[in-house]
A and B are shown apart, each in its own frame.
Chain A
Amino acid sequence: MMWKKLFNWLDERLGLTTIYNVVLDRKVPKVNWFFTLGSASLFLFVMQGVTGILLTVYYVPTPDHAYDSIQYIMNDVTFGWLIRGIHHWGATLMVLVVFLHMLRTFYFAAYKYPREITWLTGVILLLSTLGMGFTGYLLPWNQRSYWATTVGTEIPGTVPFIGQFITNVLRGGPDLSALTLSRFFSVHIWVLPAVIVGTIGIHLYLIIRIGISHIPDKDD
């Protein structure tokens, strides 16, 4: 009774029932399990956000402490191995799931009118996810991440005329250094998450506004 009164008071002011009806009770066509890949991507993003925030409690993005701080997380912090493990494997899984989500949209022709903008925001989200993978890979500052980023930042160097400039912008100078680590960290925890959260907002708004497409049949 008490809860019911409290809920009604809040509902009248916040429109909770309306949100519920519009977001969760909307009409959807008969679909299959492939249509859960978008929700799975969102879930993984939230999971990466939560575990990522927890990792910043101990991780330090400087060449003299990055590696040691991760050793500390893995060996000394209670459940540190679990939090980092989820972030590590969740990253790989997220790239996979987001990619499969794109394939489903493509093969079921769900990118066509009136959903072109949903597709375009999806392109931004896919590229941002890959960017998260690329920037996150350097942060452990071990041999593998060091050389992977050496190669990864060298590749744009082959662009005619402005190649070296692009490499220098990515690295923060001609060398892979403390500047590279701190700017990758900044992009990894501030820039790309902000881009992804904003773009997910548009992406979800459009899904709620337009609804999801049905599975194409012979008439389509």
Chain B
Amino acid sequence: MSKSPNMNRREFVTLVTTAIGSIMTAIVGIPAIGYVLSPALKAKKTDAWIPLGKLENYPVNQPTLFTFTRAKTNGWEKTVNSFGVFVVRKSDTEIEILSNVCTHLSCRVNWNTQKQEYICPCHDGHFNIDGKVDSGPPPRPLDQYEYKIEDGNLFIHLKES
């Protein structure tokens, strides 16, 4: 067959088949990516002030654990998450609110009265009363919460992305 400048039948069929195949793959393939990533992209952000009760209930210079739970809906199910914060009252006005989540791998730390340290049971991370790392693997100090006091009541700002 002499070489024609135009497309021959076989080339045309190949092109059309490839084009239609690509379009059909894209119609399912591209939505499929969004479908799988959906819950990660649509996660709702938390932004709330949590009441921790009267400030005067917290003793001075002794970290006191306050725990609370928050419920949210993941997919078709209600998920209840537990939170714990240490309220450290330095004086009548100066307060620190430390998260009990270890900055290493998210285990929960405990206050050890004898050693005057927060100790993480998982990998032996030690933090001082202000949350600074004393020893162990944690890469940074314990996270602090923003707080406010209204009519003698303590509130902390819970933000989750």
Name which of B28, B32, B35, B77 has the most chain A CB atoms within 10 A of its CB. Answer: B35
| Cβ–Cβ contact A77 & B31, under 8 A | no
| Cβ–Cβ contact B35 & A80, under 8 A | yes
Residues of chain A within 8 A of B36, CB atoms compared: 54, 57
Q: CB-CB contacts of B27-42 with A at 8 A, as 1s and 0s?
A: 0100110111111011
| Cβ–Cβ contact A80 & B38, under 8 A | yes
Name the one of A47, A51, A54, A72 contacting B75, with C-beta atoms under 8 angstroms. Answer: A72
* A82 to B31 CA separation, bound complex (whole angstroms): 8
Residues of chain A within 8 A of B41, CB atoms compared: 78
- How would you classify the secondary structure of chain B's contact residues: helix, strand, loop or mixed? helix
Q: CB-CB contacts of A49-73 with B at 8 A, as 1s and 0s?
A: 0110010011000000100110110
Name the one of A57, A58, A69, A79 contacting B31, with C-beta atoms under 8 angstroms. Answer: A79
Instruction: Please judge, given known A-B contacts A65-B77, A69-B75, A71-B76, whether A54 and B32 are in contact too, CB under 8 Å.
Output: yes
Q: CB-CB contacts of B11-51 with A at 8 A, as 1s and 0s?
A: 00000000000000000100110111111011000000000
Q: CB-CB contacts of B57-92 with A at 8 A, as 1s and 0s?
A: 000000000000000000111000000000000000
Is A76 located at the chain interface by the 8 A CB criterion?
yes
| Cβ–Cβ contact A57 & B35, under 8 A | yes
* A203 to B152 CA separation, bound complex (whole angstroms): 80
Binding site for A on B (CB under 8 A): 28, 31-32, 34-39, 41-42, 75-77
Cβ contacts A to B, 18 pairs, < 8 Å: A47-B28, A54-B35, A54-B36, A57-B36, A65-B76, A68-B77, A69-B75, A76-B38, A77-B39, A78-B31, A78-B34, A78-B35, A78-B41, A78-B42, A79-B32, A79-B34, A82-B35, A83-B35
15 other A-B residue contacts (CB within 8 Å) besides A65-B76, A69-B75: A50-B32, A51-B28, A54-B32, A54-B36, A58-B75, A68-B76, A76-B42, A76-B75, A77-B38, A78-B31, A78-B34, A78-B37, A79-B31, A82-B31, A83-B28
Binding site for B on A (CB under 8 A): 47, 50-51, 54, 57-58, 65, 68-69, 71-72, 76-80, 82-83, 86
